[in-house]
Amino acid sequence: MSPSAKSDRRFEFRLDLHSGVPVYRQIIDHVLGGISTGSLKPGDQLPTVRQLAVDLAINPNTVVRAYRELEIREVLTTQQGTGTFITDKKPRVNEVERQRRVAQLAGELLARAGAEGITLQELLDYFTELQNEPNRRT
């Protein structure tokens, strides 16, 4: 896909420096999340290492590490002189990665709920209700 054929929309990376999740992991998670939601599609170009490092005010080696891991997973491909692009391969997630992601999401949910005064028991009760709804697929 040529740059002129792309829309003007731009995938936006956001970091949470207080989450305890390493920055390179957050970049990986953003890319994988963007693919799963459809906001990143095969052929979409990501920012250059230098540009993303400047945009996020981080060390370029951090971006290199994230992009390299995504290339190993065959989610990204880098073409010298052209850029880094999303491939058409579906991301593979192993069980350890899946459990890490579940723990991260649960931690974020609990932190946000706690800030709103919602207890863990209230969340558990709500999830139980959701699970018991007729015609509910889990």
| Residues spanned by the domain of 27 | 3-86
Mean pLDDT of the chain: 84
Q: Write out pLDDT tens, residues 39-93.
A: 899 999 999 999 999 999 999 999 999 999 999 989 999 988 889 999 998 766 6
Task: Please compute, for residue 53, the number of CA atoms within 13 A of its CA located in the half-sphere on the CB side.
Answer: 13
Structure tokens at 5: 């054929």
- Say if residue 43 is in the same domain as residue 62: yes
Residues 37 and 68 in one domain: yes
Task: Give me the helix-helix angle, 120-132 and 95-115, nearest 10°.
Answer: 120
At 6-28, the pLDDT tens digits run 444 567 888 888 777 899 999 99
Same domain flag for 27 and 54: yes
Q: Is residue 7 part of a domain?
A: yes
CATH number of domain containing 54: 1.10.10.10
Task: Tell me the pLDDT tens digit for each residue of 98-121.
Answer: 788 788 888 888 888 888 899 999
Q: Quote the pTM value.
A: 0.64
Contacts with 1 (C-beta within 8 Å, 6 or more apart), sequence order = 43, 44, 45
73 and 125 assigned to the same domain: no
